[in-house]
């Protein structure tokens, strides 16, 4: 992922004026965080890094995955004691476990994190931690504390940590760009931020209706993986150091909060399957994985949906329809399953039946953006571009509710 770091380094050499003409003369240590890096500058900085990720095709552009991960983010943001800026959550096409917060309300979640989470509360634990980095403005506070003088410098630092976090030399090189950085102080300050993000993140996820033990259980999973794989530790631990004390504190904080019984949504399992298919190097790998899961007796909604989706992408439409059929009967009101059925019908040249299937989903969930987009695309493919245009430019739709679980 070095192109992102190279692009950020170019910005340091003089092209950061596009962010702000005053960015090169920011106040130094001792000024309030707002004066060091204003909210508007944070937004511009996060937008620039995010744009590079999109430009280099590091993200998964899938409406259903994007809608789901943002819905979880909005649920957490709504429960936050500190109101965050408008939140944008995106999924990075990377099977490694990692997540990161950018200034200005941007949050990246690796596909591998979604696959590693055994529950929605574990996913919420990761996202709640990153949301706390955003609401507490840790980047702006770090800029103030480490005497880093320009937005351009921190753009390079952030980009390098994202793009080269598996390579310590890249990160160290980026940190060295800012003259006068005391690296030991930077590490210590980051640890303080991590502790604060853990504490606030646990409180937020509990307030949002997730089990606060999810953060500690995910920490335990990371620790186990680091022991099993030696030097091949999860990428998230390179930027989020984990210690026994940190795990114990997370467990203790969760115990102090009221118990929350959170039942995972069906959508969580289905989006895990979708993320596995879309983050695989080859779709055939995901197809083989889900086929083997079903063959071994693990006939879950996640595995059956994942196999049907992989079969669709491999143009195995009749097989995919057979695979999906039991789920259609079991979950007649689950939006993602019904949308996959509509897509299969469209691929099977049954366009009128496919349009009717999309319309049934929209009757249940008229504000569900992936259904709106899928229906418009189906109209286009059915030779009805005017109908698609009229549908898309109709009355503005408010934010959608979560699709039903079944």
Give catalytic residue positions. 130, 198
Nearest C-alpha neighbor of 133 from the set 69, 73, 72:
73
Residue 56 makes CB contacts below 8 A (sequence gap 6+) with: 1, 3, 4
**Inter-axis angle of helices 120-135 and 183-207, to 10 degrees?**
130
Q: Report which secondary-structure segment, H or E, holds 107.
A: strand 106-110
Q: Which residue matches tokens 């019908």?
A: 345
Determine how β-strand 88-92 pairs with β-strand 106-110. Answer: parallel
Instruction: Give the separation between CA 249 and CA 255, rounded to whole angstroms.
Output: 10
Instruction: Give the separation between CA 190 and CA 128, rounded to whole angstroms.
Output: 17
Q: Report which secondary-structure segment, H or E, holds 293.
A: helix 283-295
Token reading at 247: 């795990």
Instruction: Give the separation between CA 263 and CA 214, rounded to whole angstroms.
Output: 12
């Amino acid at each position: 992922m070095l192109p992102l770091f190279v692009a950020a380094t170019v910005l340091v050499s003089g092209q950061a004026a596009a962010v702000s003409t005053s960015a090169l003369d920011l106040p130094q240590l001792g000024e309030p965080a707002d004066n060091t890096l204003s909210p508007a500058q944070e937004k511009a900085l996060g937008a620039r890094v995010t744009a590079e990720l999109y430009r280099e095709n590091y993200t998964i552009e899938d409406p259903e995955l994007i809608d789901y991960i943002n819905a979880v983010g909005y649920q957490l943001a709504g429960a936050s004691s500190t109101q965050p800026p408008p939140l944008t959550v995106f999924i990075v096409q990377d099977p490694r476990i990692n997540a990161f917060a950018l200034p200005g309300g941007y949050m990246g979640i690796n596909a591998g994190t979604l696959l590693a989470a055994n529950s929605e509360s574990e996913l919420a634990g990761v996202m709640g931690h990153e949301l706390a980095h955003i609401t507490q403005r840790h980047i702006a506070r770090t800029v103030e504390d480490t005497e880093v003088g320009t937005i351009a410098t921190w753009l390079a630092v952030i980009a390098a940590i994202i793009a080269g976090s598996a390579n310590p030399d890249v990160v160290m090189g980026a940190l060295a760009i800012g003259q006068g950085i005391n690296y030991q102080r930077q590490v210590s300050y980051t640890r303080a931020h991590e502790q604060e993000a853990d504490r606030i993140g646990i409180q937020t996820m509990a307030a949002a209706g997730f089990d606060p033990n999810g953060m500690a259980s995910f920490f335990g999973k990371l620790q186990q993986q680091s022991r099993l794989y030696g030097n091949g530790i999860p990428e998230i631990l390179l930027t989020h150091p984990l210690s026994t004390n940190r795990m114990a504190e997370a467990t203790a904080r969760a115990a102090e909060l009221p118990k929350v019984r959170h039942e995972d949504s069906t959508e969580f399992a289905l989006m895990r399957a979708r993320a596995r298919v879309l983050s695989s190097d080859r779709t055939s790998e995901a197809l083989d994985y889900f086929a083997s899961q079903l063959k071994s007796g693990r006939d879950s909604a996640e595995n059956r949906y994942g196999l049907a989706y992989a079969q669709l992408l491999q143009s195995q439409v009749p097989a995919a329809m057979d695979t999906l059929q039991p789920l259609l009967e079991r979950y007649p009101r689950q939006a993602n399953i019904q949308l996959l059925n509509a897509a299969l019908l469209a691929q099977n040249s049954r366009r009128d039946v496919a349009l009717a299937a999309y319309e049934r989903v929209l009757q249940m969930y008229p504000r569900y953006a992936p259904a709106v987009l899928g229906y418009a695309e189906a109209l286009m493919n059915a030779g009805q571009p005017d109908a698609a245009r009229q549908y898309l430019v109709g009355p503005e739709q408010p934010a959608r509710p979560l699709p039903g679980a079944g």
